[in-house]
Amino acid sequence: MNLPIKPPKLDQAVGRLTGQAIPRLEDRRFLTGRGRYVDDIVLARQLHAHFVRSPHAHARIVSLDLSLARTAKGVVDAFSAADLAELGDIAPNWVVPGSKVKGRPPLARAMIRHHGEAVAVIVAESLAEAVDAAERVEVVYEPLAVLADQEAAMAPGAPRIHPDLADNVATRFPVGKGFDEAAQGADLRVAFKLRNQRLVPFPMEPRAVNADFDDATGRLTFYCAHQLPHLLRRMLAAAIGFPEQKLRVISPDVGGGFGPKMHFYPEDVVLAVLTQRLKRPVKWTETRGENISATTHGRDHVTHIEVAARSDGKILALRINSLANVGAYLSSMGSGVPTVNVALFVLGLYAIGHVEVLITNVYTNTTPVDAYRGAGRPEAAYIIERTIGRVALELGLDAADVRRTNFVAADQLPYRHPTGIGLDSGQYEATLAKALEQADYEAFRAEQVVARQEGRLLGAGLATYTHSCGVGMAELMGPIGFDRGGFESALVRVHPDGRVTVLSGAHSHGQGHATTFAQIAADELGVPFEHIEVLQGDTDLVPMGVGTFNSRSVSVGGSAVKIAAARVATKMRKLAAHMMQADLEGVVLEAGLFRTTGGNATLTIQELGRAAWTGQGVPRDLGIGLEETEFYHPHAMSAPNGAHIALVEVDIETGEIALRRYVAIEDCGVVINPLLARGQIQGGLAQGIGQALYEDAAIDAEGMPVADPPIPRSDMMPWMEIDFVCTPSPNNPLGAKGIGEAGALGAPPAIVNAALDALWPLGVRELDMPLTPQRVLAAIAAATAGRERA
Amino acid sequence: MHHRKISLTIDGRRVVSEVEPRMLLVQALREVFGVTGPHIGCETGRCGACTVLVDGQAMKSCMMLAVQVCDVEITTAAGLAQDGVLHPLQQAFHERHALQCGFCTPGMLCAAVDLLAETPRPTETEIRAGLRGNLCRCTGYQHIVEAVAQAAPAMALQGI
Ligand code: FES
Ligand code: FES
């Protein structure tokens, strides 16, 4: 078979290893079934926990009786909220100022506020026994009226999810003003509404915890599938009142994260307490059903958009009013993701002078919503790109031209939006041009005209995107209420035998840090790449770090590795110069051997390593060892960007959308490993295409989540055509920008714009994701009925 | 519940144990025999993370009871490599970066072995159809499709 595989063309300077498409160092264990995930870990005297969960989305707990369950075979004990009275609610880690915080209770006390909320936990010798005993738990619920939808929850007189609050508003977040003034004299004013639907993140490995308290040492080892081991340690220690230095979080191999595995959950706290009470290790692995109702969801915004534009497509002003469904409680980042991460990014890559945004976070009887791949920025990209697409269609202009008309110009960079967000670097016109060329855009437009005459519906959809990656600066995180550091740690150690250990506070859950970070370190140190081992995910081992989210691992974590490795390299050269009695400038290291450029003295890295770690023959002022630690704290973030094009054909009879081609051109700055970067783009695109065409975690009026969310399968995905442009970021030593979230930002608007482009002549103006055949047919029918009425 | 005796071969190793009649094959592999390559992503037959080869045929091991598989030969991802040399599919998955978190990978590899046994020279469409029972949330499948296409001629050559 002939697959259209094009090696990426990179217009960037590459190092010996940096920039090379190298297969991963860490693959072998995964390929041979030897990955080690939390559920693979079984400890001596292992106990198993099973949570009893509410079948109702809103109810009062009238009574709860665990006595029968406690006497069931194999059961060690069972607990309800009353048994864990010392525990408070789970505190969010990001609280936007002014938010009314209602954290998740570890176990429901008197009220159930979403389906799947845990009311009790049973601990038994085996999981089967714990599950069996759950049938002997007697809970009487008094079901209450369910509010699952944010618009319903905001209706006047709506029941309150938290009766001690005045209404169901969790946060109000206004940004900017002046729409009406700026819209004066516009040639076009349009108002429309869109929904960015709720999604289930669905990592293939569900959450898993194994909590192991040792009462002889007073240490608690907490195995957890997590993206932020150090932050989890801090949050957990604070929640249970445990000395942080005695709490060890180990996050071994993690089977996908996508956001939800960076949060702090009720089950974490409960297991940490149970292992201390029972003095035995307690393990819990989420079932897929629990993953769907107890692990955080993503998106779920209803947005009203007003746009004012000139007849040439220049946008004068934008007004956004969104209701964000945050679920029953504020999860870790639940107040910030739908507000800060949306409102500040709604201008995309466009120089739009006036923007007015109001985002209201709304409590409902649904699973809490939090960061999911892109975390607010996909919502922002969807808003602005749907708006640009709408303006183009309304004015009869080409969608590419309207984008060019509005782009921030090259000579405006670096640029600051009125919302405060910075764009550091890019070539927006060139990136778009490359995408148009790759997609044969002109030819497609010609084909579209002919097809229309034949009654076939073709559509081209464009989307650009940007966001800020590489969080970030403590000075910015403090004022927005984000209680975590923006730095990342790296320790680089050259051993006496010349082999290298890199410890990193970032944590791969599939991204491949063991390879990319080794590439970065190898270029600095001049040692063979295979001699470098990158270790992560153990708070006893790794210097205090932050973790992996916000496409930050390379730009922040990788920069820390580069800086630490460079310092070690400098020391190696100084020591080598001393040992070879040469000038510092004349020392080079190649493949583990030091040479002097002038003379013919040589020194092996092993000789150097031994000297450094014994101190013998080493001047005192050089100190002992070859080891450096860097806590890299960025001064600014980067703004990756890209241009995506979807070419679709809509079947007017069946409503099916065929994605004929999908093109993504990405400017993620300097690419460390194009093979892995492509993997990140494809994975993000799969989730973005999934959102556009298939996925929906719609919660019904009774508050029931969808039992089997349609996650894309191999035969539901198109071939993705991916290429790069490279504008190095000036904001970090690597020039990297971030790539993990790109696809999830670009694909939804590109595909929906394509569908609307195809259906516009039929009078279709509104279409919400996912673009199921039923929905497309309904939109066509509604448009036809509207035309007939008119 | 009375335990029942089962005996089978896993990755070339003959094993015998007693299991509860209700125990799933995937649980037996993981918990009784310590073979943790097959993963549990759903336990309801939807994700394929638990896929193993039962007498050469790809099966979802969460959809079978352990007691159903007496005297069969089971191959998991751990049994694909021979004498430390990766199977051509494993090698192609590595070279094409067809895995990220690796959680779906052992099951995906077993499904791909079966696919290529049935269809030695598959088209892209046939590869996609053949792997539709195995969810991957990380890769978007494209590198997996490339890897299977790359491995096909190598496997035909080796007569696997
Ligand atoms: S665990 Fe068997 S198919 Fe998902
Ligand atoms: S590699 Fe993560 S699910 Fe496939």
Report the atom number in ligand 1 closest to the C-alpha of B51: 2
Cα(B42) to ligand 1 centroid in Å equals 5
Q: Do A715 and B129 touch (CB under 8 A)?
A: yes
Q: Do A27 and B93 touch (CB under 8 A)?
A: yes
Same domain, A492 and A621: yes
A7 inside 8 A of chain B by CB: no
**Segment A517-565, tens digit of pLDDT:** 999 999 999 999 999 999 999 999 999 999 999 999 999 999 999 999 9
Q: Which residues are near ligand 2 (CB < 6 Å)?
A: A 204, 256, 510; B 99-105, 136-139
Distance CA A298, CA A697 (A): 9
Q: Do B97 and A675 touch (CB under 8 A)?
A: yes
The residue of A29, A46, A50, A204 whose CB has the most chain B CBs within 10 angstroms, and thus the best one to mutate to test that interface, is: A204
Map out the domains of chain B with their CATH numbers.
4-79 (3.10.20.30), 80-158 (1.10.150.120)
Q: Strand locations in A546-599, DSSP E?
A: 587-590, 593-596
Cα(A69) to ligand 2 centroid in Å equals 37
Distance CA A297, CA A203 (A): 12
The 10 Å Cβ neighbour count of residue A371 is 28
From B97, which residue of chain A is nearest by alpha-carbon distance? A23
Report the atom number in ligand 2 closest to the C-alpha of B144: 4
A11 in a structural domain: no
A227 inside 8 A of chain B by CB: no
Q: Do B143 and A717 touch (CB under 8 A)?
A: no
Among B27, B29, B39, B43, name the best residue to mutate to test ligand 1's pocket (greatest count of ligand atoms within 8 A of Cβ). B43
Strand order of the sheet with strand A593-596? A587-590, A593-596, A602-604
Q: Which residues are near ligand 1 (CB < 6 Å)?
A: B 40-43, 45-50, 60, 62
Single pTM value for the model: 0.97
Cα(B15) to ligand 1 centroid in Å equals 23
- Give the type of residue at A223: Y
User: Average of pLDDT values for A780-785?
Assistant: 94
In chain B, what percentage of residues exceed pLDDT 90?
92
**Segment A392-406, tens digit of pLDDT:** 999 999 999 999 999
Nearest CA to ligand 1 atom 3: B45
Given a cut of 50, is residue A4 above it in pLDDT?
no
Same domain, A569 and A651: no
Among B105, B110, B134, B144, name the best residue to mutate to test ligand 2's pocket (greatest count of ligand atoms within 8 A of Cβ). B105
What is the residue whose two structure tokens read 């004015």? A395
Q: Do B46 and A708 touch (CB under 8 A)?
A: yes
**Segment A179-211, tens digit of pLDDT:** 999 999 999 999 999 999 999 999 999 999 999
Tokens (6 digits) for A668:
């993620």
A476 in a structural domain: no
Same domain, A368 and A427: yes
A739 inside 8 A of chain B by CB: no
Chain B residues close to A683, C-beta within 8 Å: 100, 137-140
Strand order of the sheet with strand A488-494? A532-535, A500-504, A488-494, A627-632
A264 in a structural domain: yes
Instruction: Kindly identify the ligand whose nearest atom is closest to the C-alpha of B101.
Output: 2
User: Average of pLDDT values for B76-104?
Assistant: 97
Cα(B122) to ligand 2 centroid in Å equals 22
Strand order of the sheet with strand A720-724? A457-466, A641-650, A657-667, A720-724
* Chain A, window 673-692: residues with a beta carbon less than 8 angstroms from a chain B beta carbon: 675-676, 678-679, 682-687
Of A526, A553, A547, the C-alpha closest to A676 is A553
Q: Do B149 and A34 touch (CB under 8 A)?
A: no
**Segment A625-664, tens digit of pLDDT:** 999 999 999 999 999 999 999 999 999 999 999 999 999 9
The answer to whether the CB of B114 falls within 8 A of the CB of B58 is yes
Using CB atoms, which residue from A255, A288, A713 is nearest to B101? A255
Same domain, A345 and A265: no
Residue numbers of the domain that contains A223: 38-144+202-294
Of A294, A325, A348, the last residue of a domain is A294
A196 in a structural domain: no
Instruction: Kindly identify the ligand whose nearest atom is closest to the C-alpha of A509.
Output: 2
Write the CATH number for A515: 3.30.365.10
Same domain, A530 and A666: no
Which pLDDT score is estimated for A9?
Answer: 47
Percentage helix, strand, coil for chain A under 3-state DSSP, each rounded to 5? 30, 25, 45
The answer to whether the CB of A122 falls within 8 A of the CB of A130 is yes
Report the atom number in ligand 2 closest to the C-alpha of A510: 2
User: Average of pLDDT values for A723-731?
Assistant: 96
Same domain, A425 and A340: yes
Which pLDDT score is estimated for A599?
Answer: 72
* Chain A, window 231-260: residues with a beta carbon less than 8 angstroms from a chain B beta carbon: 253-258
Same domain, A764 and A666: yes
Chain B residues close to A675, C-beta within 8 Å: 97
ipTM of this model? 0.98
* Chain A, window 273-332: residues with a beta carbon less than 8 angstroms from a chain B beta carbon: 285, 287-288
Write the CATH number for A251: 3.90.1170.50
Using CB atoms within 10 Å of the CB of residue A123, give its burial: 0 to 12 exposed, 13 to 18 middle, 19+ buried: buried
The residue of A31, A210, A286, A519 whose CB has the most chain B CBs within 10 angstroms, and thus the best one to mutate to test that interface, is: A31
Of A307, A394, A303, A313, the C-alpha closest to A757 is A394
Distance CA A631, CA A448 (A): 54
Distance CA A161, CA A123 (A): 31
A246 in a structural domain: yes
A27 inside 8 A of chain B by CB: yes
At A119, give phi and psi (nearest 5°): -110, -20
Same domain, A596 and A681: no
Q: Do B100 and A258 touch (CB under 8 A)?
A: no
Same domain, A570 and A700: no
A621 inside 8 A of chain B by CB: no
Chain A residues close to B115, C-beta within 8 Å: none
Given a cut of 90, is residue A166 above it in pLDDT?
yes
The residue of B50, B125, B137 whose CB has the most chain A CBs within 10 angstroms, and thus the best one to mutate to test that interface, is: B137
Instruction: Kindly identify the ligand whose nearest atom is closest to the C-alpha of B97.
Output: 2
User: Average of pLDDT values for A412-420?
Assistant: 96
Q: How many CA atoms lie within 13 A of B83 on its CB side?
A: 0
The answer to whether the CB of A178 falls within 8 A of the CB of A107 is no
User: Average of pLDDT values for A137-149?
Assistant: 97
**Segment A256-284, tens digit of pLDDT:** 999 999 999 999 999 999 999 999 999 99
A507 inside 8 A of chain B by CB: no
Distance CA A593, CA A498 (A): 10
Same domain, A311 and A441: yes
A694 inside 8 A of chain B by CB: no
Residue A5 pLDDT class (50, 70, 90 cuts): very low
- Give the type of residue at A520: I
Same domain, A577 and A643: no
Chain centroid to Cα A308, Å, comes to 32
Number of domains in chain A: 3
Of A380, A375, A379, A363, the C-alpha closest to A297 is A375
Using CB atoms, which residue from A30, A39, A206 is nearest to B99? A30
Chain B residues close to A682, C-beta within 8 Å: 139-143
Q: Do A30 and B105 touch (CB under 8 A)?
A: yes
Of A247, A263, A294, the last residue of a domain is A294
Q: How many residue pairs bridge chain A and chain B with CB atoms within 8 Å of each other?
A: 178
In chain A, what percentage of residues exceed pLDDT 90?
94
> Which residues have CB under 8 Å from A562's CB, separation 6+?
A520, A521, A524, A733, A734
Instruction: Kindly identify the ligand whose nearest atom is closest to the C-alpha of A256.
Output: 2
A122 in a structural domain: yes
From A30, which residue of chain B is nearest by alpha-carbon distance? B102
Of A294, A320, A346, the last residue of a domain is A294
From B40, which residue of chain A is nearest by alpha-carbon distance? A205
Report the atom number in ligand 1 closest to the C-alpha of B47: 4
**Segment A454-513, tens digit of pLDDT:** 999 999 999 999 999 999 999 999 999 999 999 999 999 999 999 999 999 999 999 999
Which pLDDT score is estimated for A3?
Answer: 46
The 10 Å Cβ neighbour count of residue B85 is 9
**Chain A nearest C-alpha distance from B66 (Å):** 15
Tokens (6 digits) for A452:
């229309």
**Segment A669-703, tens digit of pLDDT:** 999 999 999 999 999 999 999 999 999 998 998 99
Cα(B16) to ligand 1 centroid in Å equals 24
A21 in a structural domain: no
A778 in a structural domain: yes
Given a cut of 50, is residue A6 above it in pLDDT?
no
Given a cut of 50, is residue A666 above it in pLDDT?
yes
Same domain, A613 and A691: no
User: Average of pLDDT values for A60-74?
Assistant: 98
**Segment A225-248, tens digit of pLDDT:** 999 999 999 999 999 999 999 999
Using CB atoms, which residue from B49, B93, B124 is nearest to A3? B124
**Segment A341-368, tens digit of pLDDT:** 999 999 999 999 999 999 999 999 999 9
The answer to whether the CB of A361 falls within 8 A of the CB of A301 is no
